[in-house]
Each structure stands twice: as structure tokens, then as C-alpha cells.
Amino acid sequence: MRELYKPFVRQGNPIIFMDEKSAELTKYAANSFLATKITFMNEIANFCEKVGADVDDVRIGIGSDSRIGKRFLFPGIGFGGSCFPKDVQALVKSGKEVGHNFQIIDAVLKVNEGQKIRLIEKVENYFGNLKGKKLAIWGLAFKPDTDDIREAPALYMIDELLAKGASVVAYDPEAMENVKAVYGSKITFSENQYDVLKGADALLIATEWSAFRNPDWETMKKNLNEKLIFDGRNLFELDEMKEMGFYYESIGRKTILP
């Protein structure tokens, strides 16, 4: 086996030999740990909002500790995809099969479910009633550079918005066809990230595509009914949003008023 994998580990990646059960558990444990790290940071971000702290400062501070590291500390609207949810749930299920309760992992799953609709809470707090509101969403995939929508927070957001009587118009560079297969005509899609804003009462950002990071601000102002952005991925700098005159809410940072 060592000779077989030798061409793939020339940069020094380790080859570790273990029994099958330990190997399987290693994979589940690794992804569950990373999911826990993400969820912990989301909890810290939510607390930051209540006490007036800035989660970016906190993230940089704790990430400078080599025992913690700076990766997987960016707050947002929860994790999705095929690996983290599946592996975390598999670890919990495997534990129950042998009478072991993963209390921490159970909490991770519970917190993550609520975090997926955290942005909707902010939108509802702003408007009061979402019935009849037209809301634009940037990003449908669970992460950028994929069309994968499995467990994507955007889908949970869409469900909440529709249940509250809002209309949804959405744009994603890759994932729209997959979402169309789920929702059909229940929501509207646009082939352009700016056209999706036309007549919308607010923009919600669910995926951190690079195309969203440096938008045409003047076109955004022109197309939106109000200069309202609810950012679930903390794409923009607070000073920039203040200068642009937007009302801007993100995750774990102060709200910017126009």
C-alpha cells in the first residue's frame, strides 16, 4: 500500500495505517470537528451581535492561537453540502446504535439548523411582516464554485420566505437549474445578478461567490427599491457599506445605517 500511494505523497503527506473501524471513524470525526468549529463560531457571532462585539476581531484574535488556527472560523448562515451534514448525522446515528450519546454533535446539528434561517430573522425584524415583500437572493449553492444544493442554507431561507408570504427572485452562477427542479414556478430566477434586484425590497446573500464581492454599486442602488442588504456571508466591509449609504446587516457585526 505504501508503494501504491507513494506517487501521491511526494510533498510529505502522511500515510497512516489503521484498522477499518478506526479509519471510518477518523473521517467522521474530522468532518464533525470542522462542523463543530464552524458552528461554534456562528454561536460566537450571534453573541457578538447582542453585546456589541465585532466577530471579525474575535475571529482574528482566536485564530492567531496556533492551537486553534484561523481556518473554518468565518461565521455565516450554517454549513451544508454532502459531506458535513451526512458525516455528522452518521456519527450521531452510529453512536446511538451502541448506546452512546454525542451531546456536542447533537448540539451542532441543532444550532446549524437554526443558523440557516438566521438571515430571515433579521429581515423579518426589519420589515415586521414579509407578506407581499419581494426579496432577491444572491447564491443558491451551499458553497461557491459548485452547483451542489444539498442542504444549502439558501433552500431553507426560500422555504421560510415563501411560508411567510414573500415572493423570491434568485440568482446563482451555477446552481439555478438544480433549484428550478425543486421549486419550479414557486420562485423566479434571473440570468443576471443585477436584473434579479429590479423591484426587490431587499437583497439577501446566501453564497460567497467571487462575482458578488465587487459589485456595481450604482446599478444595485438603481435596481433595488431600497438600499437594503442582508449578508449571510459577510462579503463587504462595514466602512464601505456606510460610505455607499446602504442599510447593511451581516453576521456578528454591527448594523450599518444609511
Q: How far is CA 33 from the centre of its chain?
A: 17
Q: Which residues are catalytic?
A: 83
Enter the C-alpha cell of residue 67.
Answer: 492551537
Distances (CA, A) of 55 to 20, 45, 49, 74: 40, 5, 8, 9
228-231 vs 134-138, strand pairing mode: unpaired
- Non-local CB neighbours of 69 within 8 Å, separated by 6+ positions: 63
CB 212 within 8 A of CB 193: yes
